[in-house]
Structure 1
Amino acid sequence: MWRSRSNRDREMVVCIACGSSLSRADAREYDKEGDRWERHGKEFEHLCKACYRDLCHQPRKELEALLGDIEEHGLSQEEFLRRYLAEVEARYDPESREERER
């Protein structure tokens, strides 16, 4: 049989953005894969309502993969941003792509 939702909602979670502790009922689910409706086999992270409102809710197709490709332990913020901009340009700028293909 299905568990009562009231037990689950009393669980405490931590906001991944600001670190505050709050009840699960007062939190919003965050799915880094961007598909919170496909729930099978997933464990969600959580955001408090204030941090959730601050999020950009635009589609982020391929963003997690791009970040994973450029991320490296110990990377400075400056180097991370340099790699990010270079990779975005390489993948999505049509002029840059045309120059590479010549």
Structure 2
Amino acid sequence: MWPFRTSSVVCLACGTELSQSMAREYDKYGDRWDRANKTFEHLCKGCHSDLCPQPRGELEKLLGELEAGNPSQAEFLSRYVATVDDRYGPLEES
């Protein structure tokens, strides 16, 4: 019989603390089946069901690039908007 997981984790989206057995694993690389040398982040069921099913393309890589140097939130957002505008063109409101 498999051991019951009793450790607690924190939802990366809303910050709620819950038991690991009640959480959903999140692998930012998109390969949760390859478990070698990995640590997973977790989502509560509510936040997991709110995830957008659309492909994110290069989003994780872009966010990693923009976090270089540990910028302030304002600097990070400024970099994000400028980079997305440069790479993909201006965002058009619908």
Normalising by structure 2, we get a TM-score of 0.72
The total of aligned residue pairs comes to 88
Q: Greater share of helix residues, 1 or 2?
A: 1
1 CA distance for matches of 2:54 and 2:81? 19
2 CA distance for matches of 1:34 and 1:48? 18
- Aligned structure 1 segments of 4 or more residues deviating by more than 3 angstroms: none
**Equivalent runs, 1:35-46 vs 2, <5 Å:** 35-46=31-42
Shift of 1:47: 0.8
* Inter-CA distance 76–26: structure 2 relative to 1 (3 Å threshold): closer
Question: Is 1:75 equivalent to 2:43 in the alignment?
Answer: no
2 CA distance for matches of 1:88 and 1:61? 13
Identity %, equivalent residues: 56
Counterpart selection for 1:53 from 26, 43, 49: 49
Shift of 1:59: 2.0
Shift of 1:49: 0.5
2 CA distance for matches of 1:74 and 1:89? 19
Q: Which runs of 5+ in 2 are unaligned?
A: 90-94
Shift of 1:29: 0.3
Counterpart selection for 1:19 from 4, 15, 22: 15
| Rg (Cα) greater in structure | 1
2 CA distance for matches of 1:18 and 1:33? 20
Normalising by structure 1, we get a TM-score of 0.68
1 CA distance for matches of 2:17 and 2:2? 20
- Other structure's SS at 1:6 match: coil
